[in-house]
Amino acid sequence: LRTNSDSSPGLASSIKKIYCNERDPGNHTLKDIGLMHEIPKEDQSSLVLKYDKGFRKKFLTEASAVDKLCIMIRKPGLELVNYLKHANYSTAVNRYLMYGPAGCGKTMTMMYAVDYCKKQGWLIVPVFNPWTWIQYKNTYIVHQREEIVRSLWNKDRVDHPEIAARWLENFRQINSDLLENVFTTREYTWSKHEKTKSGVSFSTLVDLGIARVRIATDVAGCILREIINQDSPDFPRTLAAVDCANSFFGISTLKIEPGVYLEPNELALVHNFKKILSNKWKNGAVIVGLNTSGIPSQTKRIAKVSSEHPYDILGQEGFDILDPHIPIHVPHYTDKEAISHLAYYQDRKWLVGRSTTEAGEAEILQICGNSPTDICVYCGHL
Amino acid sequence: RIARHPSFLADTLEGEWSDIWPLPNQFNPYLVPLPLRMGHTQKFCVSPDKYTSVELLKVQNFLHLTPPAIKKHCAALKKFCTPFPKELETQQDCEREFPVETHTVDYVAAGKTPRNPAARVVTKTIRLSNLVLDHHARLKLTQLAGKERYNRSNDILTIKVDRCPVKKQNKDFADYLLTALYFESWKTEPWESKEHTSHSDGYYWWEDSASYQNVKNLSLSWDSPTVEKYRESVRELKLEPEPEKLGILTEERKEAVSNYKDSVIKLLNL
């Protein structure tokens, strides 16, 4: 056994190359594993969404503190991008399922792939936090509660007007330069007096949905319908990025009649987004992430399930919809990646003084056990 | 010194006890040579002794059923018995000859009434391999019986009946249920076409599964070995989990997932 000295600098400070010079995730290779993929300020405005952010809140706080938004290049991400590059887009869509222990970067891997697709000019359907759709918000502030109402389109379904409007805003933000060039193929009747003719651009449709909150859910459904039934060759390639997909197959805590909980299937948004998870459409890809952190807070009615096995969380119904898909395991950091993470903090002057020494570094790694979230949280206090 | 009645002492007995007390009878303190006490006690007193206790007279006693008396009884009965059949030596032989096992409980208690309502419950068990069943009939029988009655791990069907007031009626009803289940499971109703069956009980039918429908959406040639391999891996994934292992990623389950991944990559030609 060798004692770690208090004065000599650790392994992390010997690393010279921290950032990857190649900005396009499509050109990253296995040699780049452990390097940081930086997302510049001008890209952040379209990747970091206003509502239902893809990145976790903690990560964004940290990114603003170190004044840089970086995603580590890791093997699952490279694998996923490689699949996206070489897939056959003339047949049914491929589904990619990311699983692994909590806090290991499933979401970050997804955002890495989203960044790749954005650079390729894809249309992106962002569903980053569907827990909020099926969860009743027990807030004392009345105007922050979200309403649910019976759908105008189908009396059996239930609409989320406000959440759908926010989703439309997210959709507009992430595809800001694309929506003008995509057109609808059908005439839609929203109510007795409101109609949208066919051949209208998506941006007009989205603006209508945001302005008329009552029909926002139907507008979201129409957009998904257009994507699924696309037949023109000009239609951009589509990526559906669905995080926390297991919330679609669980239970909801919403009630519209006293005493009866709604099924997630009865919610119009969930019903529509389940369709995009199926492989009945072409010219696109679906990335699905699993998440268990929402389960305990969602309801007291079900026992907590650990997130180790993908199909226990997804359940029978979820597996049947997603099958066949490609499961991608997102594990803990390797030692090289963990040290590279610390080197990034040292470069940003977030870790200074004793935590850069050999002993301090060993202590951090010992406490966090190569878990990315733990390193992030623990170093946040240093 | 208390003057004791001589019947306290067992060695004053002359001859066999079973001769003195041959039949069920009410308690008699002058015949029973035991220092018994029974009954409600007053403050600072012991409970009444056998000469003054009325309680001892009330309860049923089994003084005619002492072990020597039973032995004597058995010895007397032995000449009427036939030897145990040699064919039924092992448990398997017994089960083959008598597949239905009946379980009842008789309650004997020192109470006011000899009847106990719990004695009416009848449980009948049968191992399904002893019945003549084809695949469909077996599936239907297990589904009709339900998960709580059929144990998949040892193939035993258990029917518990307690709805009638008397044990005899319950026995008959259990027999009726078994018969009805058996003959009902052999029938094939028109609504039992293949779409309605599921693999949730462990019977996995590929053509009816959602996976098969999804694979149909891909444009593939059906004879290729990749589809067959994919089918095998899906089957492995769906049939593996045991309830106590839910949520835990063991080595075998990890391998099943990675097998599935390989087969899908080959299927999608990535």
Query: Which is more confident, A255 or B238?
Result: A255
Nearest to B261 among A87, A309, A326 (CB): A326
Q: If you measure CA to CA, which chain B residue comes closest to A318?
A: B210
Distance (Å, whole) CA B200 – CA B208: 12
Distance (Å, whole) CA B94 – CA B96: 5
Residue B243: pLDDT over 60: no
User: What is the phi/psi pair of residue A280, to 5°?
Assistant: -90, 5
Which amino acid appears at position B64 of this protein?
A: H
**Residues from chain B contacting residue A332 (CB–CB below 8 Å):** none
- Tens digit of pLDDT at every position of chain A (382 positions): 556 667 788 888 888 899 999 889 999 999 989 999 999 998 888 888 888 888 888 889 989 998 999 999 999 999 999 999 999 888 889 999 998 888 888 999 999 999 999 999 999 999 998 888 887 776 666 666 778 889 888 888 999 898 999 999 999 999 988 899 889 998 999 888 889 999 999 999 999 999 999 999 999 999 999 999 988 888 899 999 999 888 888 778 888 888 888 888 899 999 999 999 998 898 999 999 988 766 655 545 445 555 567 777 787 788 888 888 899 999 999 999 999 999 999 999 998 888 888 888 888 999 998 899 999 988 888 7
Structural domain B91-186, CATH architecture: 2-Layer Sandwich (3.30)
Q: If you measure CA to CA, which chain B residue comes closest to A304?
A: B247
**Residues from chain B contacting residue A325 (CB–CB below 8 Å):** 264
| CB-neighbour burial class of residue B56 (10 A; exposed 0-12, middle 13-18, buried 19+) | buried
pLDDT 10s digits, B45-59? 888 888 888 888 988
Which amino acid appears at position B142 of this protein?
A: T
**Residues from chain B contacting residue A280 (CB–CB below 8 Å):** 217
- pLDDT value at residue A115: 93
- Read off the DSSP letter of residue A150: E
Check CB contact of A323 with chain B, cutoff 8 Å: yes
Q: How far is B202 from chain A (nearest CA, A)?
A: 13
Check CB contact of A303 with chain B, cutoff 8 Å: no
**Residues from chain A contacting residue B234 (CB–CB below 8 Å):** 323-324
Q: How far is A266 from chain B (nearest CA, A)?
A: 21
Residue B183: pLDDT over 70: yes
Choosing among B249, B250, B252, which should be mutated to test the A contact, i.e. which has the most A CBs within 10 A?
A: B249
Report residue B196's pLDDT band, with 50, 70 and 90 as the boundaries: very low
Nearest to B268 among A94, A308, A327 (CB): A94
- Output the average pLDDT for chain B: 83
Distance (Å, whole) CA A333 – CA A128: 23
Write down the domain spans for chain B: 6-76, 91-186, 196-268
**Residues from chain B contacting residue A292 (CB–CB below 8 Å):** none
Choosing among A292, A307, A309, which should be mutated to test the B contact, i.e. which has the most B CBs within 10 A?
A: A309
CB A7 within 8 A of CB A48: no
- The CA distances from residue B230 to A310, A321, B24, B217, B220, in Å, are 18, 16, 75, 15, 13
Q: If you measure CA to CA, which chain B residue comes closest to A93?
A: B218
Check CB contact of A312 with chain B, cutoff 8 Å: yes
User: What is the phi/psi pair of residue A42, to 5°?
Assistant: -70, -25
Query: Do residue B217 and residue A92 have CB atoms under 8 angstroms apart?
Result: yes
Write down the domain spans for chain A: 12-74+336-380, 92-329
Nearest to A326 among B217, B247, B264 (CB): B264
Length of chain B: 270
Residue B197: pLDDT over 50: no
**Residues from chain B contacting residue A321 (CB–CB below 8 Å):** 210
Check CB contact of A85 with chain B, cutoff 8 Å: no
Distance (Å, whole) CA A178 – CA A126: 14
Nearest to B218 among A92, A308, A313 (CB): A92
Among candidate residues A156, A135, A159, A134, the one with its CA nearest the CA of residue A147:
A159
- pLDDT value at residue A380: 84
Percent of chain B with pLDDT over 90: 37
Distance (Å, whole) CA A130 – CA A220: 14
Interface A-B, measured as beta-carbon pairs within 8 A, has a size of 71
Length of chain A: 382
Choosing among B257, B265, B267, which should be mutated to test the A contact, i.e. which has the most A CBs within 10 A?
A: B257
Residue B198: pLDDT over 50: no
Query: Do residue B248 and residue A309 have CB atoms under 8 angstroms apart?
Result: yes
**Residues from chain B contacting residue A306 (CB–CB below 8 Å):** 247-248
User: What is the phi/psi pair of residue B248, to 5°?
Assistant: -105, 135
- pLDDT value at residue B199: 44
Query: Do residue B270 and residue A279 have CB atoms under 8 angstroms apart?
Result: no
Give the B-side interface with A, CB within 8 Å.
Answer: 200, 209-211, 214-215, 217-219, 230, 234, 237-238, 241, 246-249, 253, 257, 260-261, 264-265, 267-270
Choosing among A305, A323, A328, A332, which should be mutated to test the B contact, i.e. which has the most B CBs within 10 A?
A: A323
Check CB contact of A153 with chain B, cutoff 8 Å: no
Nearest to B249 among A91, A308, A316 (CB): A308
Q: If you measure CA to CA, which chain B residue comes closest to A323?
A: B211
CB B147 within 8 A of CB B158: no
